């Protein structure tokens, strides 16, 4: 029975302990593990006992109160002593949120408490009004002129207001050094505050020191105040904290409190919870970012080297000392690459016999050019090759496409020419989307090409055989002047090849019979090609075509024109697209001249100067004899024409020109 009564008494004692404010309370928390604090806002309790009030988020409020109310009824109980350990971590060095406030308050709930400078305790409407029954000690890290703060690192004693009744810059009296020392509240170092109120002397002393330093003998600041005027009968003790537009993490490590004249027990410094390492986050980041920086640098370096190599490779050229001897303008591959936008398909003009041609625009001087990429085997014969090109570069004639310069790469030669905006002649003859060329324009073109060939064959210091005269090699400049292109290139192809092997260069349909037999190009073979070209321009038909009324399918243009001559209807060979819109004398001259140039025997052909004289009317074309079809048994059928797409080449009769037609025309 007695046991039951004792048990009941113990239970009752415990209950009263909890329910009613005690006469005098004393507690100590070295870390807040197992504490039963009233927390709100951002306040969180870490598992190691560290009480975190705020974090690095902005505009936070936090409250942490000892849950048991203090009894402030008897004046002796008004004396109290407390100490706590805290740390404030600024997010940005030396700038922080608003700080921590120790509070004695009649309530633990502050629904109208605003973050920032109001510490989560007050709001703007209570700025200057005494709010009832609040005693506070602020650790304020922001200077607010509204509240007459002395600086941004001070400790203040506040009664019912945010305006401090007394304040002092944070610091402590060092007993060992016998001098005052200042500290930074937001240094992220743990510090301790002692607050002692003596109900008899009515003095509040606030003392502070770094955590590893014992309580200094001199307080930081003191204030005389009759606490009995302020407090209500029951008060709660606790902390408020806030962040504003800048944030900081605020921590409490331990708290000791004693009421009724006893001094608060000393915190057991060694048993306080560990603080997170300051700068942990940023240090981790900086280690991470250092690794990242190193990795990125290495990657960037490697990419740089690779790009450099690729670039070197991309723009790589072959330059040899002897090239300078030839005084031919050399272009850098990079410039040509950029001029043609990287040899884009969009800039592709066409594929000639020797390579692809691209349009390009050089940047300085600003110039439209045609860039031809000619692949070339080994370095063998390269010197002759360049010499040849240098020679081509020195050729100047109004009916030649001007070679501007070159560039050499491994296995490749790049030639730069004047750009011909109107493209090649064959497009005008055969493409329906191009305007029809008038007879005058055609005649001008024929004379232009003849003039260019005279220049190449006779007027230049050495004889240059073109080898590939044909409509698609004739380009038209802005004024529709004919410009012969691709000259000299054919000869380049012979270099480095065995002279014994016959290496016929040219285009099927334009090849003189003896060229296919002997493989030797001469000015006469050029004249033959020119003849075919002339007929092509006059008739608007390609050298091997299907002709109306021809039973044999495909035929040589030359043979067909011959047939028209034989039938006495030569002018019917003229291009139907011209209608009757031509000068009949000129047309007849051109058709006959074309046939004459295509004489199967080289001796039967005029030279280019004679051709020019006929065209200019300075010489009269000899009478053309009608040929004998029955005698037509030679010519192309004797050539190796296995690759020619003609079914009945054997009937070609044009070769049966009477030998009488061999010219005897002087210069
Ligand atoms: C800080 O605390 C608030 C409230 O507890 C939370 O919403 C926020 O995510 C926290 N911020 C950080 C950076 O931890
Ligand atoms: C400020 O707080 C008081 C009471 O604490 C409340 O009556 C008032 O409405 C609040 N004012 C604002 C602006 O929140
Ligand atoms: C302190 O304030 C209380 C209550 O207002 C009053 O009773 C007491 O006399 C005051 N003490 C002194 C010394 O003024």
pLDDT digits (tens, 9 = 90+) for 228-249: 888 888 899 999 999 988 888 9
pLDDT tens digit sequence for 157-181: 999 888 899 999 999 999 999 999 9
Q: Which of 94-103, 149-158, 628-637, 653-662 has the lowest mean pLDDT?
A: 653-662
Cα–Cα distance for residue pair 483/471, rounded to 1 Å? 11
Active site residues: 468
> And the tokens for 96?
């922080």
The more confident residue out of 436 and 196 is 196
Same domain, 253 and 269: yes
What's the average model confidence in pLDDT over 298-325?
84
75 lines ligand 3 (CB under 6 A): no
What's the pLDDT score for residue 623? 77
Report the nearest-CA residue for atom 9 of ligand 2: 112
CA 20 to chain centroid, in Å, comes to: 74
Tell me: pLDDT of 556 over 90. no
Q: 483: pLDDT confidence band, cut at 50, 70 and 90? A: very high
111 lines ligand 2 (CB under 6 A): no
What's the pLDDT score for residue 344? 86
Cα–Cα distance for residue pair 79/81, rounded to 1 Å? 7
Residue 405 structural domain: 321-418
- Of 45, 55, 115, the one to substitute when testing ligand 1's pocket (max ligand atoms within 8 A of C-beta) is 55
Burial bucket for residue 99 (CB in 10 Å: 0-12, 13-18, 19+)? buried
Same domain, 475 and 371: no
Same domain, 203 and 130: yes
What's the pLDDT score for residue 492? 54
Tell me: pLDDT of 616 over 50. yes
Same domain, 430 and 390: no
Q: Which of 33-37, 195-199, 411-415, 526-530 has the lowest mean pLDDT?
A: 411-415
226 lines ligand 3 (CB under 6 A): yes
Report the nearest-CA residue for atom 7 of ligand 3: 228
284 falls within a domain: no
Cα–Cα distance for residue pair 623/112, rounded to 1 Å? 121
Tell me: pLDDT of 279 over 50. yes
Greatest mean pLDDT range, 13-17, 136-140, 341-345: 136-140
Tell me: pLDDT of 10 over 70. no
Report how far ligand 2's centroid is from the alpha carbon of 157 (Å): 23
Nearest to 210 by CA among 168, 247, 253, 242: 253
What's the average model confidence in pLDDT over 459-487?
87
Percent residues over pLDDT 90 in the chain: 37
What's the pLDDT score for residue 652? 34
109 lines ligand 2 (CB under 6 A): no
Same domain, 490 and 367: no
- Of 204, 224, 228, 233, the one to substitute when testing ligand 3's pocket (max ligand atoms within 8 A of C-beta) is 228
What is the pLDDT of the chain when averaged over all its residues? 81
Report the nearest-CA residue for atom 5 of ligand 1: 42
Please count the structural domains in the chain. 3
Q: 214: pLDDT confidence band, cut at 50, 70 and 90? A: very high
Indicate the residue among 418, 446, 479 that finishes a domain. Answer: 418
Report the nearest-CA residue for atom 5 of ligand 2: 112
Same domain, 542 and 438: yes
Report the nearest-CA residue for atom 3 of ligand 1: 42
Same domain, 475 and 611: yes
- Of 123, 131, 160, the one to substitute when testing ligand 2's pocket (max ligand atoms within 8 A of C-beta) is 123
Question: Which ligand is closest to the CA of 60, given by its number?
Answer: 1
Q: 11: pLDDT confidence band, cut at 50, 70 and 90? A: very low
125 lines ligand 2 (CB under 6 A): yes
What's the average model confidence in pLDDT over 553-559?
84
Greatest mean pLDDT range, 14-18, 107-111, 386-390: 107-111
Same domain, 155 and 82: yes
The more confident residue out of 287 and 114 is 114
How is residue 455 annotated by DSSP? I
606 falls within a domain: yes
Kindly report whether the peptide bond that precedes residue 365 is cis, defined as omega within 30 degrees of 0: yes
**Structural contact between residues 541 and 557, judged by C-beta atoms closer than 8 angstroms:** yes
């Amino acid at each position: 029975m007695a046991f039951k009564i004792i048990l009941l008494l113990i239970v009752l004692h415990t209950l009263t302990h909890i329910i009613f404010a005690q006469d005098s309370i004393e507690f100590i928390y070295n870390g807040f593990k197992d504490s039963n604090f009233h927390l709100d806002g951002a306040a969180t309790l870490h598992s190691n006992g560290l009480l975190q009030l705020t974090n690095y988020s902005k505009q936070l409020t936090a409250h942490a109160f000892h849950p048991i109310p203090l009894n402030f009824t008897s004046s002796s109980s008004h004396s109290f002593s407390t100490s706590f350990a805290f740390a404030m971590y600024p997010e940005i060095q030396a700038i922080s949120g608003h700080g921590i406030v120790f509070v004695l308050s009649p309530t633990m709930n502050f629904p109208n408490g605003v973050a920032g400078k109001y510490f989560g305790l007050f709001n703007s409407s209570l700025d200057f009004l005494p709010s009832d029954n609040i005693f506070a000690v602020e650790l304020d890290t922001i200077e607010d002129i509204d509240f007459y703060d002395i600086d941004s690192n001070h400790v203040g004693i506040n009664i019912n207001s945010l305006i401090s009744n007394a304040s002092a810059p944070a610091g402590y009296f060092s007993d060992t050094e016998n001098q005052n020392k200042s500290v930074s509240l937001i240094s992220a170092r743990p510090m301790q505050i002692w607050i002692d109120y003596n109900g008899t002397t009515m003095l509040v002393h606030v003392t502070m020191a770094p955590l590893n330093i014992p309580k200094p003998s001199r307080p930081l600041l003191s204030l005389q105040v009759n606490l009995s005027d302020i407090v209500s009968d029951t008060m709660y003790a606790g902390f408020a904290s806030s962040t504003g537009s800048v944030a900081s993490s605020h921590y409490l490590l331990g708290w000791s409190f004693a009421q009724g004249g006893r001094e608060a027990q000393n915190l057991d410094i060694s048993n306080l919870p560990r603080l997170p390492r300051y700068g942990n986050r940023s240090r981790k980041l900086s280690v991470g970012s250092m690794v990242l920086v190193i990795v990125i640098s290495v990657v960037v370096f490697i990419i740089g080297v690779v790009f450099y190599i690729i670039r070197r490779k991309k723009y790589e050229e072959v330059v040899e000392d002897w090239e300078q001897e030839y005084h031919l303008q050399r272009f850098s591959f990079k410039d040509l690459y950029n001029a043609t936008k990287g040899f884009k398909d969009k800039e592709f003009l066409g594929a000639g016999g020797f390579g692809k041609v691209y349009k390009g625009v050089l940047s300085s001087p600003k110039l439209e050019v045609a860039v031809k990429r000619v692949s070339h085997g080994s370095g063998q014969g390269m010197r002759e090759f360049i010499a040849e090109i240098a020679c081509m570069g020195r050729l100047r004639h109004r009916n030649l496409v001007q070679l501007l310069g070159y560039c050499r790469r491994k296995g490749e030669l790049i030639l730069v020419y004047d750009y011909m905006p109107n493209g090649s002649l064959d497009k005008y003859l055969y493409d329906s989307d191009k305007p029809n060329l008038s007879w005058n324009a055609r005649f001008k073109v024929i004379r232009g090409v003849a003039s260019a060939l005279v220049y190449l064959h006779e007027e230049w210091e050495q004889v240059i055989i073109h080898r590939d005269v044909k409509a698609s090699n004739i380009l038209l400049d802005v004024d529709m002047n004919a410009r012969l292109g691709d000259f000299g290139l054919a000869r380049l192809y012979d270099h480095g090849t065995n002279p014994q092997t016959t290496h016929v260069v040219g285009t099927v349909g334009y090849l003189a019979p003896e060229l296919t037999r002997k493989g030797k190009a001469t000015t006469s073979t050029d004249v033959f090609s020119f003849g075919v070209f002339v007929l092509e321009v006059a008739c608007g038909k390609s050298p091997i075509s299907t002709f109306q009324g021809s039973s044999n399918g495909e035929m040589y243009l030359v043979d067909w024109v011959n047939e028209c001559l034989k039938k006495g209807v030569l002018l019917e060979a003229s291009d139907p697209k011209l209608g009757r819109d031509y000068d009949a004398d000129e047309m007849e001259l051109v058709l006959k001249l074309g046939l004459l140039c295509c004489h199967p025997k080289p001796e039967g052909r005029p030279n280019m100067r004679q051709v020019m004289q006929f065209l200019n009317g300075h010489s009269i074309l000899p009478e053309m004899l009608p040929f004998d079809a029955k005698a037509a048994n030679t010519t192309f059928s004797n050539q190796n024409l296995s690759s020619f797409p003609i079914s009945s080449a054997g009937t070609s009769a044009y070769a049966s020109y009477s030998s009488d037609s061999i010219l005897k025309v002087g210069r």
